[in-house]
Structure 1
Amino acid sequence: MVLVSSLAALTAAPLTGQTKEATTAWQDGRFHVDTKSVVGSSDIILQRPNLLPRELMPLGNGRLGAAVWAQDGYTAQLNRGDTFPHRLSPGQLVIPGLQRLTQASDYSARLDLYDGEFQEQGGGMSAVTYVTEKLDALVVEVKGADPKSLQTVELKLWSPRKPQVLRKGNIGVLAETWVDNEEAGASGETFGSLSAVTVDGIDLHVEQDGLAIKVSFHPRADGSFRVLAGAPHWRGGDALSTASELLTGVEKLSPSEHRTWWNQYWERVGLIQVSSHDHTAEYLNNLRTIDLYTAAAESRDKLPGAQAGIGDLFSSIRDEHQWGPSAYWHWNLRMQVSANLGAGVLDLNDPYFNLYRENLNAVLAWTKKHMGGRAGICVPETMRFNGQGFENETWIPAAAINCGEDSKPYYNARTISTGAEVSLWIWQQFLFTDDLNFLRENYPVMREAARFYLAYGTHSADGSLHTFPSNAHETKWDVHDPTTDVSAMQALFPAVIEAAGLLKIDDAVVEQLKKDVPKLSPLARISLASPNVLAAPDADGKDIVIAASGDPAAPSHNSENIGLEPVWPYGLIGDEGPLHALGVRTFLNRPQKNEADWSADPVQAARLGLAEEFKSSALALTERYQIYPSGLATLVGPEFYVEQIGVVADAIQTALVQDYDGLIRIAPAWPKDWNADGTVFVQHRNRVHVQIYDGELVTVGIDAGSASPLKVRNPWPGESVEVINASTSAVVVPASSARVLQFSPQALTSYLILPSGRKSSLHFEPVSGVRAMTPKSLGSRTIGIPR
């Protein structure tokens, strides 16, 4: 199925799949995707130069990121995620001679997602910018320059930065170190930044100019030159030797080295193509592809590249940060973890798990000190990179304490559910991979999170387990039985029991958890008519919804829908079951509708099977917050938020395929007016391929990654279906109209689910796309820059 990406082209040509007969991408036992064309349909197109810092185009190799825009001819800011505690930039690169290109009347540019590079052309010149994969360097390849014209390149920092400005031969260096010793929770460690520049040209001359290095040179005889700007991990040492070794290595790299990595990356991603008559589906899916691109560009270092929902590796605003950059806010990481799972790029979650696993001892010590000597871990919701629960902000007089009995009431002073949520993402990652070594390595976090709940909870006279004082995240402070705690324990305790059983350890912990599971409190409920009064635990009238806590009259301090946390991320309520109607009522009557770029409304709607609400909330959040041509969003201040596209990415794949609880659901919340061709990864290394045309399922295929039994909800409810081996056509599950199909697959074998007796006569056509040629628009929002 070919899906056109350009909205101009979509207007000119009828939408494929809605004006012709359906096709199938399944042939010869597998699902066929033209990866390059699918990814290329989401390229970001610039029809005029991106002159403003807010119009940046993002690049990165997961460790070194860059923001590129056309100010002063060409400007690129280099960024790393390991320049703690303030995440200071290694510097900005300026190439004034590219004004001939960027000011040309025929200027155009493309952020090529498949190749991971920014391509510009105009005035007879071209420039291709990319970050090398093996080494941490930005390369700018220029062609068409006047070989007789003297060119300059500037690498600069700014006050109050105090770098060493060094030069040797054809290399200039800016190097600086500092000690993390000022903030609350400071590590005492030395950090720093180093940037270095040279040019592959002729007649090079390097000189110092204040806090900058300037390189003057001539292009080669053919008008070409390359600018190499490196920015490695740096904590001090011989800056010139480090820079020389780095740039020498970069010069030896193949110009296609970065493309090889990106091309291979896209081949393993679960790609989705969607279309709709009004073209809104294509726009949202373009954001999903951008999310998969930015995730790979920022999330391959020791720790996550994003904090507070912000894509720090793509900053164009020097060293400015709205939120304390030494800390990570878990609430703003979770949508990215979930999106990576469904897309099959589970390795991009490694930095997230490293953050909490490697700080386990620090969090144990923090909990003992600040939570009354209790056992286990209270993971600070806002946690410094070194495991300390201090929130250091320039706009509060003293650092706020997270997970602390010794703190006054505050946003996350007693948010104690974060450790459980981290643990449940560990569990989900294990279920997706079946990797016992991963589970063994990360299980201690799960155990200690459970031990803390056992230590903090108290039993009432009837034996039930309660928490108080505790925050319902940032919304309700110091209340009884926050819905986040109730949900966390209901989901965490069984997961820890199962994990410990697989690892054959911790019998005593397991025994205690088993005793307390029956004693866990139910979700608090209220009626819409009397929202400040608790309803009976089993109340189920038409106006009954889930409360944020057992103290419904407590004041609210943030715009979160705490009553929907049992739906996602905790997975206690889905699109069917005894609590489904309660969950739907809670969603439809949620207090905050499409508030904040991190809102999980679209994901929670998809989990509940609410197709129209999934669509409308995803569109509403995008139109409200996605203001940058890169596809990134705003919330507070001038920074560039990646969390909104993370929500959209997760919501799209959740609407198409779900398997959070071991039951595969096909198109549980897919809008009837959207077509789809896509692949979603599910538990046990399985992949599900789905094609939908004009509201009808056409293809349902499963690549079994393991021999674990499969449970699939009948994709054609009430109809007789069968499961066949996709290679041999042998019937695996005979015709059945059962609600759930169950079978034991062979590992690395593909299967088709078909209505009984239907032998596919559909024309074969791989999933493909048409390369983007114009910017895309959604109301006042754009991806790319129109003329």
Structure 2
Amino acid sequence: MIKCIPLLFVFLCAFELSAQTDYRKIVNASDLHYATPVGRSEDGMPTGNGRMGSLVWTIPSALKFQLNRVDVFGNNSSSHNFFERHTDYCNGTGTVSIDFGTAVFTNTGFSQHLDAYDATVQVKGGGVDASILTSAVSDVMSVSVKDNRKIKLPVQVVLSSLRKPDMRRGNHRALSKAYVQGDYIVLTQQFTEDQYYCASAVAIQADAHAKAVQDEQGVVRLLLRGSARNRVLIATAASFDSTEDIAAKAIQILKQARTISNETLLREHRAWWHQFWKRSYIQCSSANGDADFIQQHYQYYLYVMASSSRGSYPTKFNGMLWTTGGDERKWGGLYWGANQSCLYNALFATNHTDLLQPMFNMYSNAYRSYELAAEQQWGSKGVFIPEVTGFDPTPPLPEDIAAEMRELYLCKKKWEDRSQHFIDYSYTLLPFISRWNWKKDEGWKNGIWHTGDKGGGAFGHTTHIFSRGAKIAYQYWMQFEYTQDTAFLKQFAYPMLKGVAEFYRNFPNFRQEEDGLFHIRHVNDNESIWNGHNTVEEISSMRGIFPVAIRAAMILKIDQGLQREWKNVLEHLSPLPLNEAGNAWVGSLPPVQQGNAGRRPDGNTMPVWFFDLCTLQNPDPATLRIARNTYHNYYPQGIGKDSKVFVLSKLPVAGITLGLKEATEYLIPAQLRTAEIIPLRNRMDLREGAQTTSVQRLGRAAEALQLALCQSLPPAPGEDPVIRVFPAWPEQWKASFKLAARSGFLVSSSFANGQVEFVEAEAMANAVLKLDNPWKGRRVAIYIGKQLIRESIDDLIVFSATKGSLLKFVPVH
């Protein structure tokens, strides 16, 4: 009995810690507060529901918005009209201005506040208060205005197009039409080219006392009579179906919203967001404020992703839903896998699988086209997922073009011997698409567009990157690990894993050579090494994807023959490339056509780390020694307060994966305060150029923070993950969290005074928990609910749990 009293006391303390989570306080720490109007539109505050969204900013007389959607694209991947880089466009639907007739938003008496917990924006100034939300449950924005001015001037709601009514580029056509329909003002867009069609609509209505008008210049307005209160409802819609009446679709959304009071709309909206925030959290603090600063950005990152990644397509790295100057932006309408990973990698541990679904949908929907691309472009089997892709499937190639492409890209035919037919066919195709990325813009001369190559023949920055497919497939595997959803594994994840494994195994330039090992030649190492040999990206990818494909096949009890083939490849696969001293990994073995083969692995991708080849659970001391040597080469003077981290860098993630507490303490804040570019007032940045407002660096920092608090990494790819809490946490910082783990558990824990206080794990499926004992050398009490089950002194605690059971681990004092 004497023994049980401290056990019970510790357990009750742990229960109190886990039960007293103030989600509003945690999330509201990430709010935005402006005491003066923004000086540029890109500093506006984001509001969105994952499908539509806008920044909210002001000019002296008006509230400003640009309504954007994730499912609006001016063209698809087959276009022959955007052969000049950065000219293709997407996402924009129209701009809205609510003008109060005089300067109300000035430096005097101004405030603008984003409440992240409620997902609302409040703007006050000059006797006018506005409350803005983008409904979490329907595609409508509500702007509620209180006009407390003594003299109430008429208010105008102006809806404007992003371009002239009829714009053409070759046979690409963009039609915009603004008009009045009853009490509504409407703006539609239609984009057509060959068989491609996409349309969008914006429709606006006010609650009362409004007149819809159109002037001689075609501008449409709602005129609101002077009134103490007004509500403006703005709906958007989009479609790829040319038979659908897109304006009617948007108006119907408005009609439904009009039947709901603003109080009810706000209540439903808040309910969704409050449930969202309860699914996970991170709370941390430190004496110098750096941990608090990190938490602030982490919760804000989650707010931005939930506001922009719940639609039919992933939010884009270059602008997301936050462009404000039209729908053109640097890098256009395509997706770069490396950049997208900055946004999406940190979402797995947040317990918000719905935010990942747009990414999985885009790749799964294009699966058949990736099969054809593997065959046509590379003469291989399986699937080829390019680094740079459109939102749509990879276009098929004419057979004669495909045959010549294989000869050229596999280095069987000299580049200078390519046919005029191949040159002519590629001339007008999108130059950022990976298969055409050897193209170089040479500009307009005498009214003719000139293009050449980048000096590498068939090689360009992204032409010969195969590791993206492996990384996408590995993300599918991770989704299975987090959810333990065998239906997802069977229907979506395993086809990707099998497809990528088979692509590598059958790739013509992947062969067993005289040394008895499989080598891969004529491939890139990310964007900087071209035409390399056994590049670290591709060897890491194969060392990650083959064992995971084998494990998935074993779980599903299928493809025994392929399992044997894959095991044979693994057993005879070349090792990761090493420097001459043999103590650190490098980018490639020689020869290479362009780039430095002996450089460090790309700090923005860190492939050895991504594929779990050097985790703290790895039992091979030699591998961990090489990993630490390699990492040291990035910071030869050590990590400290002056260490610099750029926007896309995975160096904080890699250092924390190795258990380096200084990576948490110094590199995460350094990434958020990045030396590369000055962050905007809204914590986002324009790292990629004009109109590219994004949270890439926040996503990278979020992933690093999660790993510093809770790692659930396997000893090697395809093996069982082991949970480690606070593996790289500074001893002087405090923290508590609730995060998802790759073994199918929702893990909570807290850290104070240099000690882990408790660990709690809720089983999200029938699963086996493997916990690295955070109190080594001490007995650990294990509870299910409030019932003591047993004690353990093992360094690795293993426990089988049924779905829904709540495990608690506390040290015995």
Structure 1 position 32, deviation (Å): 3.3
- Aligned with residue 474 of structure 1, among 511, 527, 541: 527
- Aligned with residue 44 of structure 1, among 27, 32, 41: 32
- Aligned with residue 362 of structure 1, among 362, 369, 388: 369
Name the SS for the 2:737 alignment partner.
strand
Whether 1:387 and 2:431 are equivalent positions in the alignment is no
Q: Give the corresponding residue for 1:676.
A: 735
Percent pairwise identity:
26
After superposition, give the CA deviation of every residue in 1:187-230 in whole Å (9 maximum; x if it has no partner): x320122111121131424224635311112144xx00011111
Q: CA RMSD in A?
A: 2.7
CA distance in 2, matches of 1:606, 1:453: 30
Deviates more, 1:680-689 or 1:444-453: 680-689
Q: Is the 8 A contact 1:370 1:404 kept in 2?
A: no
Name the SS for the 1:408 alignment partner.
coil
- Aligned with residue 660 of structure 1, among 688, 702, 713: 713
Q: Is the 8 A contact 1:411 1:557 kept in 2?
A: no
Counterparts of 1:185-264 in structure 2, within 5 Å, are 188-208=195-215, 210=217, 212-220=219-227, 223-235=228-240, 236=242, 237-253=244-260, 254-256=264-266, 257-264=268-275
Q: Give the corresponding residue for 2:559.
A: 506
Q: Give the corresponding residue for 1:105.
A: 108
- Aligned with residue 500 of structure 2, among 443, 449, 454: 449
Q: Give the corresponding residue for 2:680.
A: 628
Whether 1:305 and 2:315 are equivalent positions in the alignment is yes
What amino acid is the match of 1:78? L
Q: Is the 8 A contact 2:185 2:220 kept in 1?
A: yes
Structure 1 position 697, deviation (Å): 1.9
Structure 1 position 291, deviation (Å): 1.0
Name the SS for the 1:283 alignment partner.
helix
CA distance in 1, matches of 2:336, 2:273: 29
What amino acid is the match of 1:696? Q
Q: Give the corresponding residue for 2:473.
A: 423
Whether 1:75 and 2:64 are equivalent positions in the alignment is yes
Structure 1 position 560, deviation (Å): 8.1
Which structure 2 residue ranges, 5 or more long, are not aligned?
1-9, 76-88, 167-175, 397-426, 439-456, 637-642, 715-720
Q: Is the 8 A contact 1:136 1:230 kept in 2?
A: yes
Name the SS for the 1:331 alignment partner.
helix
Q: Is the 8 A contact 1:173 1:239 kept in 2?
A: no
Whether 1:569 and 2:621 are equivalent positions in the alignment is no
Q: Is the 8 A contact 1:342 1:681 kept in 2?
A: yes
Q: Is the 8 A contact 2:14 2:810 kept in 1?
A: no
Q: Is the 8 A contact 2:319 2:329 kept in 1?
A: no
Deviates more, 1:22-31 or 1:206-215: 22-31
- Aligned with residue 288 of structure 2, among 278, 281, 295: 278
CA distance in 1, matches of 2:591, 2:627: 17
Structure 1 position 386, deviation (Å): 1.6
Structure 1 residues 369 and 727, CA gap change in structure 2 (3 angstroms): closer
Q: Give the corresponding residue for 1:159.
A: 163
After superposition, give the CA deviation of every residue in 1:631-669 in whole Å (9 maximum; x if it has no partner): 112313132122111011111111000002211111111
CA distance in 2, matches of 1:652, 1:23: 27
Q: Give the corresponding residue for 1:586.
A: 630
Q: Give the corresponding residue for 1:402.
A: 434
Structure 1 position 340, deviation (Å): 0.8
Q: Is the 8 A contact 1:567 1:608 kept in 2?
A: no
Name the SS for the 1:446 alignment partner.
helix
What amino acid is the match of 2:141? L
Q: Is the 8 A contact 2:709 2:729 kept in 1?
A: yes
Q: Is the 8 A contact 2:95 2:162 kept in 1?
A: no
CA distance in 2, matches of 1:524, 1:340: 31
Structure 1 position 246, deviation (Å): 2.1
Q: Give the corresponding residue for 1:549.
A: 588
Name the SS for the 1:468 alignment partner.
strand
CA distance in 2, matches of 1:180, 1:332: 28
- Aligned with residue 647 of structure 2, among 594, 597, 608: 597
What amino acid is the match of 1:458? R
Question: So what's the TM-score if we normalise by structure 1?
Answer: 0.84
Q: Is the 8 A contact 2:735 2:750 kept in 1?
A: yes
What amino acid is the match of 1:511? R
Q: Is the 8 A contact 1:145 1:219 kept in 2?
A: no
Whether 1:649 and 2:693 are equivalent positions in the alignment is no
Q: Is the 8 A contact 2:90 2:328 kept in 1?
A: no
Q: Give the corresponding residue for 2:346.
A: 339
Q: Is the 8 A contact 2:318 2:329 kept in 1?
A: no
Q: Is the 8 A contact 1:230 1:246 kept in 2?
A: yes
Name the SS for the 2:803 alignment partner.
coil
Question: Could you say which structure has the greater relative contact order, defined with CA pairs below 8 angstroms and 6 or more residues apart?
Answer: 1
Structure 1 residues 96 and 452, CA gap change in structure 2 (3 angstroms): same
CA distance in 2, matches of 1:29, 1:591: 38
CA distance in 2, matches of 1:445, 1:65: 31
Structure 1 residues 458 and 725, CA gap change in structure 2 (3 angstroms): same
Structure 1 position 516, deviation (Å): 1.3
Name the SS for the 2:252 alignment partner.
helix
CA distance in 1, matches of 2:435, 2:40: 41
Whether 1:722 and 2:780 are equivalent positions in the alignment is yes
Whether 1:177 and 2:165 are equivalent positions in the alignment is no
After superposition, give the CA deviation of every residue in 1:590-628 in whole Å (9 maximum; x if it has no partner): 389856411111111111111102332222222224611
CA distance in 2, matches of 1:481, 1:103: 60
Q: Give the corresponding residue for 1:779.
A: none
CA distance in 2, matches of 1:106, 1:277: 33
Q: Is the 8 A contact 2:48 2:134 kept in 1?
A: yes
CA distance in 2, matches of 1:588, 1:619: 19
Q: Is the 8 A contact 2:188 2:200 kept in 1?
A: yes
Q: Is the 8 A contact 1:49 1:103 kept in 2?
A: yes
Q: Give the corresponding residue for 2:485.
A: 435
Structure 1 position 629, deviation (Å): 1.5
Q: Is the 8 A contact 1:709 1:744 kept in 2?
A: yes
Structure 1 residues 490 and 746, CA gap change in structure 2 (3 angstroms): same
Whether 1:141 and 2:144 are equivalent positions in the alignment is yes
Q: Give the corresponding residue for 1:130.
A: 133
CA distance in 1, matches of 2:296, 2:13: 21
Which structure 1 residue ranges, 5 or more long, are not aligned?
1-21, 182-187, 527-533, 759-787
Whether 1:320 and 2:320 are equivalent positions in the alignment is no
After superposition, give the CA deviation of every residue in 1:64-100 in whole Å (9 maximum; x if it has no partner): 0111101242101100121113214111110121865
Name the SS for the 1:130 alignment partner.
strand
Structure 1 residues 107 and 670, CA gap change in structure 2 (3 angstroms): same
Q: Is the 8 A contact 1:601 1:614 kept in 2?
A: no
CA distance in 2, matches of 1:209, 1:594: 56
- Aligned with residue 806 of structure 2, among 731, 750, 763: 750
Deviates more, 1:547-556 or 1:348-357: 547-556
Structure 1 residues 588 and 210, CA gap change in structure 2 (3 angstroms): farther
Question: So what's the TM-score if we normalise by structure 2?
Answer: 0.82
Q: Is the 8 A contact 2:36 2:107 kept in 1?
A: no
Structure 1 position 178, deviation (Å): 1.3
Structure 1 position 402, deviation (Å): 2.2
- Aligned with residue 267 of structure 1, among 275, 278, 300: 278
Q: Is the 8 A contact 2:198 2:238 kept in 1?
A: no
CA distance in 2, matches of 1:580, 1:396: 48
Structure 1 residues 491 and 297, CA gap change in structure 2 (3 angstroms): same
After superposition, give the CA deviation of every residue in 1:376-421 in whole Å (9 maximum; x if it has no partner): 122100011123289xxxx999625525899711111100111111
CA distance in 1, matches of 2:774, 2:762: 16
CA distance in 2, matches of 1:110, 1:39: 14
CA distance in 1, matches of 2:205, 2:527: 48
Q: Give the corresponding residue for 1:771.
A: none
CA distance in 2, matches of 1:658, 1:706: 19
What amino acid is the match of 2:325? I
Q: Is the 8 A contact 1:602 1:618 kept in 2?
A: yes
Q: Give the corresponding residue for 2:50.
A: 62
Q: Give the corresponding residue for 2:418.
A: none
Structure 1 residues 302 and 594, CA gap change in structure 2 (3 angstroms): farther
Q: Is the 8 A contact 1:195 1:229 kept in 2?
A: yes
